[in-house]
Structure 1
Amino acid sequence: MRDRYDPQVLVYSKKRAQEMVGTLAGFDLVVAVMAVGIVVRMICPGIADKWTGTPVVAVDSSLRSAVPVVGGHHGGNDLALRLFEKLGAYPAITTATDAAGRPSLEGTAAGLGARIVNRSSSRDVNLAFLREDVPVVRLAGPKIVLVDEDVAVLKSKGGVVVGIGARRGVEASEVLEAARMALESVGRGIDEIRAIATGEIKRDEPGISQAAERLGRPVIYLDEEVLNAQSPTTESRARDLGLVGVAEPAALALSERLIMPKKAYGRVTVALGE
C-alpha cells in the first residue's frame, strides 16, 4: 500500500473481470464484486508471488462476505475488516496468524516502518508467532551478523520510536497526551511515530497497549536483556528492578539515536529515538 491511511482501491464488477489482470499493478488494493472462483481464474496468470502481487478481496453481489483472495498480510485482511466496518460484510480471513488473533512478521514489519530483507524467513517466523511472542531485537552497526533461516532481518525505513515508562494503572489518555507533548517539544508529529517501545514488565499495563491501538502503531515489549544492553543518558529508578531504565533503553533499542532523552509527563515517562 502506498499509504496505509489513504490506499488506492479499485472496485471491479463481474462484467469488468477481464480487465483485472492488466491493471492490478496500478492499484494498492482491488475489490472484486464476484465469486471467489472467478477471481482466482482471472488473477492466476498475473500472480508472481505474495510479496509483489496486489491484494485482492472478493465480495459477493449481496455484500455479505469479503474474502481476501491474495495479499492477506499485505493489506487484504485490513481491507476485508474495513468492508466489515462500512458494509457489514463478513471478513472471511484465513491467514493463520490473523485468524488466531496473533501478530505476523509482515504486520510487525509494517508497524515498525521496516522492510523484510530475507523474505524466506516469513513461514518459520509466522509459525513461531502462533506459539509464542517472537522478540524484536535491534543490532547497531557496524557489525557482521550470521542468522539462521528462521530469523527475520528487517531494515528500518525511518520514523520516531516512542519509548514509554509509566506508573502502574496509567490510562491510555495519559500515554497519548505524554507522547503528543514529547513529540511537539522536538517539532515532530504523532503521524511520525513508527512504534511504541517499552519493557516486558509493562506488558500487563492496558493503558500502554490501548494507546498504541488508538494510534494504529505496534507496541514492542523488550525483555531485560535487551534493555540492559543499552546505554541510557540518564539515571532511572528502574535500577531497583535490575534494569538500566525503561523509556530511554526501549527507544534506543529500536532506533539509531535519541532525539529526546527521557522526560516525565505526570505518570508517564517518554524518550524519543529515530
Structure 2
Amino acid sequence: MVVVGPDLRYAVPVVGGHHGANDLARELARLGIEPVITTATETRGRESVEGIAARSGCDIVNRDSTRAVNAAVLDADVPLYAIAGPGIVVAGPGVSFLVRKGEYVVGVGCRKDVPAADVTRAVSEAFREAGVAPAEVLVYATTEKKRGEAGLLAAVADLGGNLVFLDDETLNAEEAPSPSRASLIGLAGVAEPAALAVSKRKELVFAKQTYGSVTVAIAR
C-alpha cells in the first residue's frame, strides 16, 4: 500500500514495502511525486532479500523466510551463495531460497529405489501432456522422506533443475485433490501437495498422473 499526499508531493509505502510498494512509489516518481522509502534495509543502505531477487532475476521460493533474513542483514553481512546447478539445496528456516524465474512447480512422488531413468521419463511425459517446457520450471518438489532417493536426485539433476524437500506439516497443509497411497506414510499426498505448497498462484495445472512407479503433478 502506498499513500500519496493530497498535494501530490510524496508517495509513502506504508505496507508491503518489500513486496511491491517500494517499487510502486519509485514508479510514481515519473509523475513528479517523490518516493519516501522507509523500510529498514533501504534506510540503512542494505540490500533486502527481495532486492537481491529482483536484481538477480530470481523468485523467492520460501517468502516466509525473508523477515528473519532481512532483520539479520541489518546487523551484519549475510552470505550469498550462488549455485550453478544442477544441484540440491537443503536449507533451514533462516535461509531464503532464490531460484531463477520460472512459472511452474513440479511435484514428484516415487516408490523406493526408483531408477533415475524412470523419473526422467515420467516427468518428460508429464511435460509433453501438460505443454510445459523444462525451461519454464521454477523448481521440483517432493517429501523430505525422499531425501536419500538416489534415482530421484539424479533425475532432477539430469533435468537441470533444483529439488526442494518439504516436511510433513507443509505437505499436509495443502489439499490433495487426488487420492494417494501416501496416506500409508502419514501424508495426504506427495506430488500434488508438493507442487501446490511451493507454487505462487496455488493453481494445479496438471493433476497427478502415475507413470509406473512415479507420480507427477504440476502447479503454478
TM-score band w.r.t. shorter chain: 0.5 to 0.7
**Deviation at residue 158 of structure 1 after TM alignment:** 4.0
Q: Specify the code of the residue in structure 2 equivalent to 1:168.
A: K
**Deviation at residue 264 of structure 1 after TM alignment:** 0.2
**Deviation at residue 249 of structure 1 after TM alignment:** 0.6
Q: TM-score, normalised by structure 1?
A: 0.48
* Distance 1:215-1:111 versus aligned 2 partners, 3 A rule: farther
* Distance 1:190-1:156 versus aligned 2 partners, 3 A rule: closer
1:134 aligns with 2:91: yes
Q: How is 1:59-74 mapped onto 2 (pairs within 5 angstroms)?
A: none
Instruction: Give the distance between the partners of 1:209 and 1:201, measured in 2 at CA.
Output: 13
Q: Specify the code of the residue in structure 1 equivalent to 2:210.
A: A
Q: Counterpart of 2:111?
A: 167
* Distance 1:239-1:152 versus aligned 2 partners, 3 A rule: same
- 1:111 and 1:194 in contact (8 A); partners too: no
Q: Any idea what SS the aligned residue of 1:134 has?
A: coil
Q: Counterpart of 1:262?
A: 208
**Deviation at residue 225 of structure 1 after TM alignment:** 0.5
Q: How is 1:91-110 mapped onto 2 (pairs within 5 angstroms)?
A: none
Higher mean displacement: 161-170 or 182-191: 182-191
Q: Counterpart of 1:19?
A: none
**Larger RCO (CA within 8 A; separation ≥ 6):** 2
Q: Any idea what SS the aligned residue of 2:170 has?
A: helix
- Identity in percent: 36
Q: Which runs of 5+ in 1 are unaligned?
A: 1-47, 52-105, 137-149
- 1:180 and 1:189 in contact (8 A); partners too: no
Q: CA RMSD in A?
A: 3.7
Q: Counterpart of 2:166?
A: 222
* Distance 1:191-1:155 versus aligned 2 partners, 3 A rule: closer
Q: Deviations over 1:1-25 (max 9, x none)?
A: xxxxxxxxxxxxxxxxxxxxxxxxx
Q: Counterpart of 2:28?
A: none
Q: Deviations over 1:103-147 (max 9, x none)?
A: xxx9xx6796x9x967745755869xxxx94257xxxxxxxxxxx
1:190 aligns with 2:137: no
* Distance 1:49-1:216 versus aligned 2 partners, 3 A rule: farther
* Distance 1:229-1:176 versus aligned 2 partners, 3 A rule: same
Q: Which runs of 5+ in 2 are unaligned?
A: 1-44, 49-55, 82-88
- 1:163 and 1:246 in contact (8 A); partners too: yes
Q: Specify the code of the residue in structure 2 equivalent to 1:258.
A: L
Q: How is 1:1-274 mapped onto 2 (pairs within 5 angstroms)?
A: 120=70, 121=72, 133-135=90-92, 150=94, 152=96, 157-255=101-199, 256-274=202-220
Moved over 3 A (4+): 48-51, 109-112, 116-127, 150-158
**Deviation at residue 154 of structure 1 after TM alignment:** 6.3
* Distance 1:190-1:117 versus aligned 2 partners, 3 A rule: same
> How many residue pairs are counted as aligned between the two chains?
154
Q: Specify the code of the residue in structure 2 equivalent to 1:134.
A: A
Instruction: Give the distance between the partners of 1:226 and 1:156, measured in 2 at CA.
Output: 23
Q: Specify the code of the residue in structure 1 equivalent to 2:219.
A: G
**Deviation at residue 211 of structure 1 after TM alignment:** 1.2
Q: Counterpart of 2:20?
A: none
**Deviation at residue 152 of structure 1 after TM alignment:** 3.7
Instruction: Give the distance between the partners of 1:166 and 1:125, measured in 2 at CA.
Output: 34
